Amino acid sequence: MTYNRKARNTPDQPVVYQIRVKGHLGAQWEGWFQGLSITQEENGDTLLTGLVIDQSSLHGLLKKVRDLGLSLVSVTPIENGHVDHSDARK
C-alpha cells in the first residue's frame, strides 16, 4: 500500500481521495462507500474517488474495504481537488 503525503491538509479539513483496490466493484456499491464514485480500471483494479470530510470518515471507508475482504492497493489524497465542500460526505 502506498500513501502520498504531499497534501498538507489539517486532519479535519475535507479532502478528495482516491482509494485503489484490487478487483472490480459495480456501481451498486456507491452507497456502501458513502457515495464515492466507482471507476473500474482495465487492469482489474477499482478506483473509489470522492470528497472525504475528515480522517474519521477515511478510516471508516478503509474499514469497509477490509470488511469486504478487498485488497487495498493505495490511498492517495488528490491535491488541488476543486470540489464544493457543501457536498461533503459523512
Secondary structure of the chain in the HEC alphabet? CEECCCCCCCCCCCEEEEEEEECCCCHHHCCCCCCCEEEECCCCEEEEEEEECCHHHHHHHHHHHHHCCCCEEEEEECCCCCCCHHHCEC
CATH number for the region 11-81 comes to 3.30.70
Q: What is the pLDDT along the chain (90 residues), one digit of tens a residue?
A: 554 544 444 556 789 999 999 999 988 888 889 889 999 999 999 999 999 999 999 999 999 999 999 999 999 999 765 443 333 333
Domain locations in the chain? 11-81
Q: The pTM is what?
A: 0.73
